[in-house]
Amino acid sequence: METLKRISLVTVFTLLFGGLMAQNTTVTQAAFVKSYESEKSGNYVAAINTLKTVYKADSYIVNIRLGWLSYLAKQYTESIKYYEKSISLKPYAIEARFGCVKPLSALESWEKVKAHYMEVLKIDPQNTVANYWLGVIYYNRKDYVNATRLFEKVVNLYPLDYDSVIMLAWSKLSSGKSADARVLFNQALILKPDDSSALSGLKQIK
């Protein structure tokens, strides 16, 4: 009899807990729907306030959503805080790192942007977005060796990607590898006929 009472109590608690979980999920879903509507109308602050009513520190999806909305509202410091929380909850989810790059770029925190791209590449070495934009950072810093290495990786994966081909061409030219640059500039012209950047590069090659 005592065993039956224990089983009954466990069953009651399980049902109650399950009911509360379902209720919380429904409330969260409704808050997300409302936040999407506010975002669509450009009212980012309203969208943020709606989600804050269901905020939980251990919720990845709420934190990353708040990171995005705070970025749209130009609340960059808040955005970074939510994205960093998301990263701490799911360290291998690269979407949160890509999200965090946006407010960091708006604040021109380029070292932190670079760090996030490098972390992404530790998780996914072939990630073309991280390879490309990290290459751009190196190129802008005149580090053409590292820029070339990263752009080559992207071009090897996607030989018809114009942006990567043209950046690799300029990296090669800036490294003094004119012959390689000429081939790449001509390849860029096939991908984008009469491209001004490729034509300008070819003019600089004697």
DSSP-assigned states of every residue in 88-146: HH-TT-HHHHHHHHHHHHHTT-HHHHHHHHHHHHHH-TT-HHHHHHHHHHHHHTT-HHH
Last residue of a domain, one of 64, 90, 124: 124
Is the same domain home to 35 and 82? yes
Average pLDDT in the 8-30 region? 59
Percent of the chain with pLDDT over 70: 88
Is the same domain home to 206 and 176? yes
Average pLDDT in the 167-184 region? 97
> Which pLDDT does position 24 carry in this prediction?
64
Is the same domain home to 13 and 45? yes
Task: Residue 183: give the domain boundaries.
Answer: 125-206
Domain count, the chain: 2
Last residue of a domain, one of 89, 124, 159: 124
Is the same domain home to 51 and 16? yes
- Look up the CATH number of the domain holding residue 170: 1.25.40.10
Instruction: Judge whether 144 and 122 are in contact, CB under 8 Å.
Output: no
At 13, the pLDDT band (50, 70, 90 cuts) reads: very low
Is the same domain home to 40 and 131? no
Cα angle value 68/70/75 (rounded, 5°): 140
> Which pLDDT does position 115 carry in this prediction?
97
Does the structure show a pLDDT above 80 at 36?
A: yes
Is the same domain home to 61 and 104? yes
- Token readout for 162 is 């114009």
At 180, the pLDDT band (50, 70, 90 cuts) reads: very high
Is the same domain home to 84 and 139? no
**Amino acid sitting at position 20:** L
> Which pLDDT does position 25 carry in this prediction?
74
Does the structure show a pLDDT above 60 at 8?
A: no
Centre a 10 Å sphere on the Cβ of residue 19 and count the other Cβ atoms it contains.
10
